[in-house]
Structure 1
Amino acid sequence: MDEFDFLVIGSGSGLDVANVAANQGQSVAVVEKGPLGGTCLNRGCIPSKLLLYHADVLETIERAGEFDIDAEVNDVDFEHIVRKVNEEVQADADSIRRGLRSSDRHTLYEGEARFVADHEVEVSGGEDDGARIRADTVLIAAGTRPAIPPIDGIEDTDYLTSQEALQLETPPDHLVVVGGGYIAAELGHFFETFGSDVTVVGRRPNLLPNADSEVAAAFTDQFGERADVYAGYEATSVAQADGEVTLEAREYEYGEEGGVVESGESVSVTGDALLVAAGRTPNTDTLNLDATGVRTDDRGFVATDDYLETDVEDVWALGDIVGEYLLKHSANHEAQAVARNIFGSDPEPVDYSAMPFAVFGSPEVAGVGATEAELRDAGREYATNTYDFADTARGDAMHAEGFVKVLVDLDGEILGCHIVGPDASTLIQEAVVAMKAGSGTVRDVRESIHVHPALPEVVQRAFSGQFSRGGHEHH
């Protein structure tokens, strides 16, 4: 039995806490079954955003004609683009591994952690198969993996998840995507830009169903100009033959209250590659948590208190596996909180207020705070205002479609901000800072001087216009 002060399962944001422990002079064990660095580095944000920027450059060139510029693309070395990105990611993961292996304060165990008691795990598989580790403090940060929905025939079909899609060295002729969330939006945009025909089949009435419904509808319309979108369809079966995959899906008819009234027509879609992007499932089922007092919720995520401690004293959890926000910046924020709560003198609950998200599709989408539907469902009084990109000088110059939508309470406190359009991921930050660092009211944005004629003016004007109670109006 190897004894440590601190054990972390997973090498994503949990490593941030492990490093704090090591800097406090504690002995630290890290158990990781895959490449070092977690989902974000190896299978998520980093490779996808590196690839997506190439798509943005190509899309810019293809739109040059709109601006009376005659430009053409002579060649795209897709294989080199993908290989270069994956080599960069691999180098980063190897660097983390080397750092842990050479550290005299960390011990890396490569394999899958399975609990045998509250503070004790056994490593199975990998280089350190069979090792037993006990630690005074344990941090569960083992992440999630792609969820595979129960589609008839899926077990007998060769399908891609986001992980394999990010490594394809040739774009498919026709990519069929199951799922309508951010992974479908981003990877659909990537492959469509590089020449694939793309068909997206999503269960909800719009793509990006977690975004504000007006933003989601606008994104779905714009995305649908370049890809075939079946929103409100559930994939029911899939079959593979002669190198092609045929997906059957059934339309849902949604009732007034959002429930499914009846299923409508069926459609059949055939392509040469199938991407399953239907959400994420927590890796709790690999950890043998039955050997512990750690509880999971009804979705399988680790249950914690407001401080991110589980039901077992000195066993903590953070990141995707707690299921609060499946976002890297949320996991980093949680890591700061856990480090403070374990090693600081004054524990504080995790503050999830003003947690932004962004989708790097075409167009970009970003949001923070409550959506209009959430406010309505909660019976909150609110006012809203929307302002179009095209009504600013810079937005007009860019031929920008999209808008900024602001939701406030009747005292002017910012409840939410939602953006669809160019640089949404950057523009949202102004609302986040106002909500966190300022008084949190519309005046913080409205009365700050904005550079003219830069794009953030669209945010200022959305915060400055005529608000409507309970509804919205465009200007």
Structure 2
Amino acid sequence: MKIYDALIIGAGQAGVPLAKKLAQSGRKTLLIEKRILGGTCVNDGCTPTKTLIASGRIAYLTRHSKEWGVNKDSISIDMPFIKRRKDSIILGSRQGLEEGVEDTKGLDLLYGEAVFTDFKTVSVQGRDGQSQEIKAEYIFINTGATPVIPEIEGLSSIHYFTSTSILDLEQVPEHLLIVGAGYIALEFAQLYRRLGSKVTILEKSNAFLAKEDEDVADELRKILEEEGIQIELNAEISQVKPSGEGKILATLKIDNQSNEIACSHLLLASGRKPQSGSLSLDKTGVNMDEKGHIEVNDRLETNVSGIYALGDVKGGPAFTHVSYNDYVIVSKNLLNNTKLTTQERLIPYCIFTDPQLGRVGLSEKQAREKGYDIKVAKLPMEHVARARETGETRGFMKAVVDEKTKQILGAAIIGVDGGEIVSVLQVAMMGKLTYEQIRDGVFAHPTFSESLNNLFMSLD
């Protein structure tokens, strides 16, 4: 049996920097990864999808170039080239991680799948088929999440895609049917619509983006539908089966009415689940919730002292920046004797549709539910000078402020670089600036952020 000071299971956005930091502090550290370094973000999530989305945006702008006085009669989509570009960017990111791990003294890397066999003891079957047992005083679990495969009759009889496998497509789908209407689904929907696919989204609930304010959800839905994406609410898929010429026939219920849709490709994007089931956590006494998320306290420690969970496997908002901040909290608490917690941390997010939806803090709905006396500022993008100049006037800016303290409680920006604009308000919230200070602040002209002046002037 090998003994380490620290053992990290999973080389995602928390696992890699944590492993390096612990090793650099003088701790004998082992990083175990069953697949490839970088986790979902680098290999199956942020890096590949945003790279593909960039190609989709270029296709959209080229088709609409006449609106800017640039005439282009036709375009063609080179999907194999788009895929190669995506793959090369992934490879560059992954190689950077590999070099960083290899160059870190005191850090060992083992490829294989880890399973707990006893208290703070794991068995790892390596790629060579050999197994070894490893024990460590501190264990950090960063195994992430994986796509949920819903129970649909006939699914085994067809070829379907998940958000991971669709990244390897080398042709543009004729008709892409998407099960689910979350952030991942919407990004893929707009991407393939812009590349030339017919796209249909099926959402089983009666609300679109139910966690957002109704006006925010309605605006984003309108934008997507204007681009030709069909969005069906109250829609459930009950059966799929092969149809002629490689097609798929899906049996649906939409508003309790039976229907059938023939499509060329089916994407299952109805959620993700934690990769915890194969760890045998019961052998070391770690508690999980009913969905398989590892339960942690506000310092990310499990019920077993010395065992921590970071990133998507612990539940909560499943964002790369959350995973990385988990690393910051754990590393600083252990190595610098700080007392950081997850309580009250301000977590922004961005849906990378075009225009983007950037969000931070409380929505209007949430603020009212919490009993705040609020004022709501709203500014259509068509009233933003920079938006008019660039011809990007879809969407709006919205902010919720506390009427008593005048501090910003939250914001939603639907617009080009909405995620960047909302970051300005996030920094203001972190610094506890009032909306009046933003209203009267000096921003470079003409920028999108400059119109935050006008946004908060609407409250006067």
TM over 0.5: yes
Displacement of 1:121 in angstroms is: 0.8
> 1:296 aligns to what?
288
- 2:206 and 2:67 map into 1 onto residues whose CA distance is 31
Give the TM-score of the pair, scaled to structure 1: 0.91
Alignment coverage as a number of residue pairs: 455
Matched, 1:165 2:166: yes
Matched, 1:404 2:397: yes
Flag structure 1 segments of 5+ consecutive residues without an equivalent: 253-263, 468-475
> 1:244 aligns to what?
247
CA RMSD of aligned residues (A): 1.9
Displacement of 1:101 in angstroms is: 5.0
SS at match of 2:139: strand
- 1:249 and 1:341 map into 2 onto residues whose CA distance is 51
Q: 1:322 aligns with which of 311, 314, 317?
A: 314
SS at match of 1:26: coil
Deviations 1:231-289 (A, max 9, x none): 2322222222331122233235xxxxxxxxxxx32332221110111111000112111
Displacement of 1:125 in angstroms is: 5.5
Deviations 1:430-449 (A, max 9, x none): 1110111x224212321211
> 1:228 aligns to what?
230
Give the fraction of aligned pairs with identical amino acids, expressed as a percent. 29
Deviations 1:88-137 (A, max 9, x none): 31343245345545654222221111111231111135246412111110
Displacement of 1:180 in angstroms is: 0.2
* Correspondences of 1:193-272 after superposition (within 5 Å): 193-225=194-226, 226-242=228-244, 243-251=246-254, 264-272=256-264
SS at match of 1:457: helix
- 1:33 and 1:365 map into 2 onto residues whose CA distance is 34
- 2:448 and 2:206 map into 1 onto residues whose CA distance is 30
Aligned residues of 2:117 and 2:284 also touching (Cα < 8 A): yes
Matched, 1:281 2:284: no
| 187 and 348 in structure 1: CA distance in 2 versus 1, 3 angstrom threshold | same
> 1:175 aligns to what?
176
> 1:422 aligns to what?
416
Q: Which moved more, 1:149-158 or 1:8-17?
A: 149-158
> 1:472 aligns to what?
none
Displacement of 1:300 in angstroms is: 1.6
SS at match of 1:111: strand
Deviations 1:180-202 (A, max 9, x none): 01111111111111111111111
Matched, 1:39 2:40: yes
Aligned residues of 2:349 and 2:359 also touching (Cα < 8 A): yes
Displacement of 1:351 in angstroms is: 4.6
> 1:470 aligns to what?
none
Aligned residues of 1:110 and 1:127 also touching (Cα < 8 A): no
Displacement of 1:347 in angstroms is: 2.3
> 2:90 aligns to what?
89
SS at match of 2:164: helix
> 1:108 aligns to what?
109
> 1:449 aligns to what?
442
Displacement of 1:453 in angstroms is: 2.9
Q: Which moved more, 1:302-311 or 1:442-451?
A: 442-451
> 1:361 aligns to what?
353
Matched, 1:59 2:60: yes
Displacement of 1:450 in angstroms is: 2.2
Aligned residues of 1:206 and 1:217 also touching (Cα < 8 A): no
- 1:42 and 1:433 map into 2 onto residues whose CA distance is 29
- 1:355 and 1:297 map into 2 onto residues whose CA distance is 23
Aligned residues of 1:206 and 1:220 also touching (Cα < 8 A): no
Aligned residue type for 2:409: L
SS at match of 1:376: helix
Aligned residues of 2:396 and 2:413 also touching (Cα < 8 A): yes
SS at match of 1:172: coil
Q: Which moved more, 1:36-45 or 1:395-404?
A: 395-404
Deviations 1:327-366 (A, max 9, x none): 1111111110010122222222125532110011122111
> 1:347 aligns to what?
339
Aligned residues of 1:61 and 1:72 also touching (Cα < 8 A): no
Displacement of 1:3 in angstroms is: 0.8
